[in-house]
Structure 1
Amino acid sequence: MAVEAAIERETARQAAEEAKRLELAAAAAALAPTVRTAEQTVVMVADDSKVVRIKTGRLLAAHRFQVVMAEDGADAARQIEASLPDVLVTDVDMPGLTGLQLARQVRGDPRTAALPIIIVTSDSEQLQDEAAAAGVNVVLGKPYPEALLIEHVQQLAHVSAAS
């Protein structure tokens, strides 16, 4: 009887370990970034300059990203509230809600806190610390190499290289 009880205990222990292993694997899979294609990736461009919005939007669209435009920080905040993009590319200097204020607002909301943010500015050297404190992922100085913006968007959105 003692042997049977020991076998039952060992079987139960192994079953519990297997259940725990499966639970941990499921949790890890849920946390792992989902690899997607550019076509599945929505990039919001927030800039008060129509020329910059159009130029950046065309660049992103040429790389097959879905692009949504926001005319300024407040417009971006409203749109993000309604529909969360996969990446936010924003200017710093905008009337009303600046890019840094927008970044702080995004980071302060649990629903949007993980949204990757790329900020574009002509004052990249002076802005690094403030942008990092606001939760910005990448600071690009103007002018920036177009390939660099695309590379950052792909990395932050977990876009597969084959897309």
Structure 2
Amino acid sequence: MSGSSGRVLVVDDSEVIRHLIRVNLELEGFEVVTAADGAECLDIVHAVQPDVITLDVVMPRLDGLRTAARLRADPVTSGLPIAIVSACTQLDLERGESVGVDAYLGKPFEPMELIALVRRLSEARSTAARSEFRSE
């Protein structure tokens, strides 16, 4: 992990939302890398090696749920914690569950809710990584 709290890949087509999420997470010690849509996320995820990914649902080129499905299908990224940060419909929640999304945060959100969610996912990933290391 490069940042003291971990690295987060924030994927949202809104520059304003990406900036808002970045600032709030950086204030809590996270290193943040952003992407403007799912296609860009898939282009950079291997180089970035994030601890957590946040995805908006509605984005151009490749939406968040299709991005999540592709991340889950890739053996290198299949275990990454994924949070949907979006104004979700019930159908979005069901589709997200079917592709293995770990958590949801509805827009608009409180910054402290975002931080708590990302911290929880990051810590869960760290704990799982330590357990895998011990079992080898």
Q: What residue in structure 1 maps to residue 116 of structure 2?
A: 151
Kept after mapping to 1: 8 A contact 2:5/2:119:
no
Kept after mapping to 2: 8 A contact 1:46/1:90:
yes
Structure 2: segments with no counterpart, 5+ residues: 127-136
Q: Give the 4+ runs in structure 1 shifted more than 3 A.
A: none
SS at structure 2 position matched to 1:143: coil
Q: What residue in structure 1 maps to residue 79 of structure 2?
A: 114
The answer as to 2:90 corresponding to 1:125 is: yes
Q: What residue in structure 2 maps to residue 53 of structure 1?
A: 18
Give 1:1-163 correspondences, 5 Å limit.
39-158=4-123
Amino acid at match of 2:13: D
Cα displacement (A) at 1:125? 3.3
User: Aligned equivalents of 1:146 and 1:152: distance in 2?
Assistant: 10
Kept after mapping to 1: 8 A contact 2:5/2:28:
no
Please report the TM-score for the alignment, with normalisation by the length of structure 1: 0.71
Kept after mapping to 1: 8 A contact 2:33/2:48:
no
Query: How has the CA–CA distance of structure 1 residues 40 and 131 changed in structure 2, closer, same or farther, with 3 Å as cutoff?
Result: same
Cα displacement (A) at 1:111? 0.8
Q: What fraction of aligned residue pairs are identical, expressed as a percent?
A: 38
User: Aligned equivalents of 1:139 and 1:38: distance in 2?
Assistant: 23
User: Aligned equivalents of 2:53 and 2:34: distance in 1?
Assistant: 10
